[in-house]
Amino acid sequence: MDYKYTVEVVDTTNSRIRVKYTSMGRADVRKNLRCNDFTAVSVDELINTNCPIDLWDLEENPPPVDPEVVEGAELDTTYRPPVEQPPYVPTPEEVYQEDMRVIAADRYFREASGIVWTDSVGDDFFFDTTVPSQNRHSAAQTRINQSARGDGGVWKCFAVDQVGGKTLKYRPMTNDDLSDVNDIIADHVEKCFDAESNTVDRYDDGDTDATFEEEWAKLP
């Protein structure tokens, strides 16, 4: 097949060229091509590699069309209601995995719900217990154990009033204070996993109605 091409745009800034391909008796085709080498040999090779011969072949030899519906034809038919699909029934393993997911989600909801610490003068403070906060407390405890934390550094928490309202505070915490908080958080998290383990044990023993909160309430 004989054809010609014309380079209509050379854009070295954006590394591209636009080429118009022409062939006798066929529609012109334009292509934008990525070009990293603007030497004559490389450009000619790029253009020939992207010749739209496949489009011209399709234009010259279009695929056969054999319509099954003729314009203007009247067809007799009968209404067929849609077939209702039966509801999906999960497998026993799928049910088990979903119930385990719910138990674990309930555990983390309780785990991340925070703890309240009462200081030496009887004031209450709320501390976050999401996993990132647990990691911060763990890192602080490591520094305390290594005598690397200055006594009285500020810690972000919430003061809790007599009706449960919370006010953001940046409270100076002695190492003893913070160690006390860290111990409460560690006990809280351990209780959460104990309750989750007990719930799974009940479930595996056949009590599929067992809930995390029931087991949580049983623990001291």
The CA–CA distances, whole Å, from 25 to 59, 62, 143 equal: 10, 15, 82
The verdict on pTM exceeding 0.85 is no
- Per-residue model confidence (pLDDT) at position 81: 81
One-letter amino acid of 72: G
The CA–CA distances, whole Å, from 24 to 18, 19, 56, 61, 105 equal: 20, 17, 10, 15, 69
User: Splitting the chain (220 residues) into consecutive groups of 10 residues, what average pLDDT does each group show?
Assistant: 84 86 84 87 86 71 61 70 87 94 95 96 96 96 94 94 94 96 97 97 96 96
Helices (H), 81-208: 92-111, 131-145, 175-204
